[in-house]
Chain A
């Protein structure tokens, strides 16, 4: 476990990604506690620029952008992790079932997965959200979770199929292990990296999609999140009248967590597939190799 962590932290991309994500999590958990300020409260005149009192300025309604973005972090991350969990649960169950059982079960699941995959996501979400009325963050998380599992199911299925043909699986089958044990003890641990990959990707996707849905006016305008902040900014033409802080702050917040999560994901990908590495890691590997060579040379000389 410790070894894996060390390998993980040696990858610069993964490390930076992890730091960014942890920072966001810390803000989401502790930010509102430390701040202790109602984000919906009027604190100043409308559209005031950043100042020592309001660090990130105020909105059209005179609300503190800093307080809003801190509370918004909590909403957005919670929605992201919640929907990510739903997506991973559905995707993994369907993927393993299709890959392990094969036959008609596989046929049905694969067909269904492919259908969901070709129907455009955002328009579908828009239709569902529109019928739900002004959707709260929890409802948004649920509808994103229930419609976005197809990709994960497909990836998990193909990985399960490759594992299925390994000799150790055949051996366990010949011993007469029950399907539940096969799935949970033999297959699942070997699928963990795919599941993790799927989870991080889904969280990124959910956060982006939630912001988009709310920006388009399908969220509850009374809830505080990055998406509703962008929605209010767009509705009050914040950009055209020069109130850039009202747009830039939530925009950077969304972009930042997106970059952090995808760096983390790419780092994980690089660790499991070393051929994908770019300059920094390649150079580091070359350096490590050289050092090792010199050490060996010194040992043989001595």
Chain B
């Protein structure tokens, strides 16, 4: 139990660091930070909204340490201020609308990439030097080194523009009303295919190579030889003896790569005009909507830390040694 508590304390500190970066950055810029923050929209933003933003970011209180405490209070009470691009909506409202789409996109892609990558990696290591290994391993290396932009743009061009098989933008057909109807769900599914698969392709290689290399390490261990010597079936040795242990480092990397996946999702959403955090953020960047840009750093850090915590809990389940400690 103390393991979990230690991890939670650590994640809390990490979150405070991310929030501190948000606090320091506008104050490091030359000139008056309030003007920097709201320079672009000074005229379009009503005075009371401007005042609310100044208070949220702690500029209203006197010395720096009081400003810091004030800002932290805003952050921990969930007040991220008003969005400048989407005024009169607050940053929370904007992010709350976009977040489910990103969760759907990044979540499905991660799950698919992890499962597909780990399974192929297991087989590639089991028949090392075989056909699957010779094809899948170099391919995944190449995919791993290809940026998400490139894969998304290529997919968009081939399946969206040249072949016209799949829609080129939006999360669902805009003429449909959102609801639990078959028409709406199938529309979401069709629109999600390209973003999900192009995001999955970027990350499947990493999981595949990690799993393959861990598996190869495991296959040289004594307990695997022992399992084979006992006359257990290949399947049992492969999955229960080797793969189960080889999965542990993969699960750790699952938590750590989540940040990268959210990053990849940002880009994929921009390419496919998908209404998630990335697309919203892109619109925010164009107009230098600082509260929104800062808000997304916090929410993405929060999501990553939660996922890491989930991985830690999963670890306790997968690794019996941690349960005793």
Contact = CB atoms under 8 A, between A and B. Distances in A.
Interface of A: 13, 111, 114-115, 117-124, 126-128, 130-131, 204, 208, 211-212, 215-218, 230, 234, 239-240, 242, 244, 247-248, 251-252, 254-255, 258-259, 261-263, 266, 275-280, 282-283
Contacts of B13: 115
Nearest to A241: B161
A203 to B, nearest CB: 11
Overall SS of chain A's interface: helix
Given A114-B10, A234-B271, A283-B129, A119 B146 contact: no
Given A115-B14, A239-B161, 20 more contacts: A118-B14, A119-B14, A120-B263, A122-B266, A123-B266, A126-B266, A131-B25, A131-B26, A212-B148, A215-B270, A217-B285, A218-B285, A234-B271, A239-B153, A239-B157, A239-B160, A254-B149, A259-B142, A278-B134, A279-B130
Contacts of B26: 131
B29 interface: yes
**Helix, strand, loop or mixed for chain B's interface?**
helix
Q: How large is the interface on B (under 10, 10 to 19, 20 to 34, 35 or more residues)?
A: 35 or more
B86 interface: no
Interface string B130-161: 11011001100110111111100110110011
Contacts of B149: 211-212, 215, 230, 251, 254
Given A118-B305, A119-B17, A234-B270, A126 B293 contact: yes
Interface of B: 10-11, 13-14, 17-18, 21-22, 25-26, 28-29, 36, 128-131, 133-134, 137-138, 141-142, 144-150, 153-154, 156-157, 160-161, 168, 213, 216-217, 220, 256, 258-260, 262-263, 266-267, 270-271, 281-282, 285-286, 288, 290, 293-294, 296-297, 300-301, 304-305, 308
Nearest to B264: A122
Nearest to B22: A127
A124 to B, nearest CB: 6
A247 B153 contact: yes
B297 A126 contact: yes
Contacts of A123: 259, 262-263, 266, 296-297, 300-301
B161 A242 contact: yes
A279 B11 CA distance: 43
A92 B28 CA distance: 28
A258 B271 CA distance: 20
